[in-house]
Amino acid sequence: MSTKNSKFNSQEKPQQNKQIKLKDRRSKNYNSPTAKEEDDDLIYGRHTVQAALKSEGYLNRIWIISSLRYDPRFHILLNEAKTKGTIIDEVDHRRLDQITQRKNHQGIVAQISPYEYKELHELISQAKSKTDQPVLLVANGINDPHNLGAIIRTGEALGVQGLIIPQRRAVGITSTVKKVAAGALENFAVARVINLSSTLEELKKEGFWIYGTVASEGEAIHTVKFIGAIVLVVGSEAEGLSLLIQKNCDVLVSIPISGSTQSLNVSVAAGMVIYEIHRQRWSKNLRI
């Protein structure tokens, strides 16, 4: 999401703003995954794999160095995984370097099962069961898995209940997304839908206010009162929110900036808006 200085909100009920125009797979050879299989099927790093082991998800195979195999942080978890059918291989660092193409594996690599997305109605129901003021994210065409993973990590850390992504022309939940999310996906639901516009209409019927992030001409985020059930929609890296999605938003918001840099990385910008929502609710609870 790119950002520029923008006008201020009147602090009244959100008004519609229409005028802005902006631009299952598994490795067949478990012992020698290719580069493509690594991108789709492998996660690595101690925190990421540990979080996956603690979740109820199934891991096909784990490669681990001997010194970690009996480490108290992993020993019991690995034994439990083994009873569920996960294959545990003790290997050396050279083998892990080969499997990950010299990524920072920290001595452990796991082959994951395909990600299981939530149905939209399940995501909504789950979010409402956790709080009377749920916050959901919608990603309108994020293509970089690093950006999507960073958005998920920030969202989960700041109390967002889940994420909705489109099935087409956008990255899904890959191993790279899981790696960047650093374990956040183990406690964060994601739904994948065919049509984002109809999904936003359904969310409105469920009582959510839809806030879309735009480069300019939106309401400055620090002047907007984020109240009730909220959906925050963020756009793609290059184009931002599509015009059709903008028309389905109740309010368009922007981040005022004062430097010479005229744009922000989408995951950074999304994190700033998510934090503003979190800050307002935290401040309100603190006063109470």
- Does the pLDDT at position 42 exceed 90? no
**How far apart (Å, rounded) are the C-alpha atoms in residues 112 and 12?**
48
Can you count the helices (H) and strands (E) in the chain? 11, 11
Cα–Cα distance, 37 to 173 (Å, whole number): 14
Predicted TM-score (pTM) of this structure: 0.69
Give residue-wise pLDDT tens across range 87-115: 899 999 999 999 988 888 999 999 887 78
Contact 145, 241 (CB under 8 A): no
**CA neighbor of 191 nearest in space, from 122, 247, 260:** 122
Over residues 185-191, mean pLDDT: 91
b (16+ CB within 10 A) / e for 124-143: beebbeeeebbbbbbbbbbe
Name 214's Cβ contacts closer than 8 Å, sequence gap at least 6: 1, 20, 22, 235, 240, 241, 246, 252, 253, 254
Per cent of the chain over pLDDT 90 is 52
8 Å CB contact between 25 and 283: no
As a whole number, mean pLDDT of residues 168-172 equals 87
| Residue 263 exposure: Cα atoms within 13 Å on the Cβ side | 10
Confidence of residue 282 (pLDDT cuts 50, 70, 90): confident
Phi-psi region of 194 (alpha: psi -120 to 50; beta: other; left: phi over 0): alpha
- The whole-number pLDDT of residue 274 equals 96
When pLDDT is averaged across residues 218-243 and rounded to a whole number, the result is 90
Q: How many Cβ atoms are within 10 Å of 20's Cβ, its own excluded?
A: 19
**Alpha-carbon span 23 to 5, nearest angstrom:** 18
- Looking at residue 19, its pLDDT comes to 35
Contact present, 187 and 161 (Cβ < 8 Å): no
More confident residue, 282 or 229: 229
Q: Range with the lowest mean pLDDT among 29-33, 41-45, 139-143, 190-194?
A: 29-33
Q: What pLDDT is recorded for position 150?
A: 96
pLDDT of 26 over the 70 cut: no
- Mean pLDDT on 211-216: 88
In DSSP notation, 184-244 reads: GGGG-EEEEES-HHHHHHHHHHTTPEEEEE-SSSSEEGGGS---SSEEEEEEBTTTBS-HH
CA distance 221 to 251: 11
- Kindly report, residue by residue over 133-168, the tens digit of the pLDDT: 999 999 998 999 999 999 999 999 999 999 999 988
pLDDT band at 35 (very low <50, low <70, confident <90, very high): very low
Tell how far CA 243 is from the center of its chain: 23
Burial class of residue 28 (count of CB atoms within 10 Å of its CB; 0-12, 13-18, 19+): exposed
